[in-house]
Amino acid sequence: MKRQQIIIFGTGEIAELADFYFTHDSEFEVAGFTVDGAYLKQTEFRGRPVVAFERLLEQFPPDRYGIFVAVSYAKINAVRAEKVAAARAKGYALATYLSSRATAFAGFVPQENCFILEDNTIQPFARIGANVTLWSGNHIGHHAIIEDDVFLASHVVVSGGVRIGQGSFVGVNVTIRDHVTIGKKCVLGAGALVLEDQPDFSVVAPRGTERSPVPSTRLRNL
Ligand SMILES: CC(C)(COP(=O)(O)OP(=O)(O)OC[C@H]1O[C@@H](n2cnc3c(N)ncnc32)[C@H](O)[C@@H]1OP(=O)(O)O)[C@@H](O)C(=O)NCCC(=O)NCCS
């Protein structure tokens, strides 16, 4: 059976990874890539054509091709959300990647343009919006709600009943206590421990561990 054809928006590292994951672990086949005309520096990427987004309809029409927007969390996820809206406006269906190595249960319905990598655990009754990236290894507790356009880095603990507001960024190793609500467009920095609700646009970021004044050469037992 012929696989569904998609075009990936982007030619950066995330696009390279998206191509890898879709090719090796999905029902989709990546036919080519697209970027905004102003950023078009190459006609080929990973052995397939790159076309200007402005000319995509001519070469890869939406009745035959879907699209996946492989863009990072730039401008706190606004760039990716803009590109998703632009693709939708041109009439494209947006593909989603759900790793075969992620754990999800009956009743979980992935929305469009999600990128859900290996070792994510999505417990029953959790809901995940559109255009959400779950990098590898997160725990999404039961009854949690992740709104549209959110990006979770790796090894985040989203406890049961947590809500993460639209467009928020959650860094590596963040822990969010059960039933806490994170507002829209928040940034939770790497390693944050979040025990209470946060208003829209909050930044919660712990300082990194301080370097010892003692050099490693002076440690006696190592
Ligand atoms: C929290 C985080 C986003 C801050 O980013 P940043 O680029 O260092 O922030 P900036 O340098 O632009 O800082 C902006 C302001 O916030 C302040 N700030 C930054 N980190 C802070 C912290 N931990 N505590 C208090 N204030 C902080 C800065 O002092 C600065 O204030 P100023 O403008 O008055 O000088 C970053 O440290 C982080 O945790 N990123 C996520 C890493 C991660 O998970 N990566 C995986 C991606 S897949």
Ligand 1 centre from 27 Cα, in Å? 39
Give the per-residue pLDDT at 36. Answer: 98
* 104 vs 192: CA distance, rounded Å: 25
On average, the pLDDT of the chain sits at: 97
Ligand 1 centre from 187 Cα, in Å? 9
Ligand 1 centre from 174 Cα, in Å? 14
Mutate to test the pocket of ligand 1, among 203, 204, 210 (most ligand atoms within 8 A of CB): 203
Q: Residue 1 — very low, low, confident or very high, per pLDDT cuts 50/70/90?
A: low
Tally of CA atoms within 13 A in the half-sphere of 21 that contains its CB: 24
pLDDT in tens, 107-123: 999 999 999 999 999 99
Ligand 1 centre from 156 Cα, in Å? 18
Sequence-distant (6+) residues with CB within 8 A of 60 are 5, 7, 31, 32, 34, 51
Q: What element of type H or E holds 79?
A: helix 78-89
Query: Which residue has a Cα nearest atom 14 of ligand 1?
Result: 203
* pLDDT over 80 (residue 45): yes
Average pLDDT for 36-55: 97
* pLDDT over 80 (residue 13): yes
* 103 vs 22: CA distance, rounded Å: 17
Contact residues of ligand 1, CB 6 A cut-off: 135, 153, 171-172, 187, 189-190, 205-207
pLDDT in tens, 155-182: 999 999 999 999 999 999 999 999 999 9
* pLDDT over 90 (residue 218): yes
Query: Which residue has a Cα nearest atom 48 of ligand 1?
Result: 153
Ligand 1 centre from 189 Cα, in Å? 7
Give the per-residue pLDDT at 3. Answer: 87
* 177 vs 160: CA distance, rounded Å: 8
* pLDDT over 90 (residue 2): no
Average pLDDT for 81-86: 98
* 180 vs 87: CA distance, rounded Å: 33
> With pLDDT > 90 as the criterion, what percentage of the chain qualifies?
99
| CA distances from residue 52 to 115, 188, 215 in whole angstroms, order as listed | 23, 34, 52
The token pair that represents 90 in the structure block? 């041109």
Answer yes or no: are the C-beta atoms of 157 and 176 closer than 8 Å.
Answer: yes
Answer yes or no: are the C-beta atoms of 97 and 107 closer than 8 Å.
Answer: no
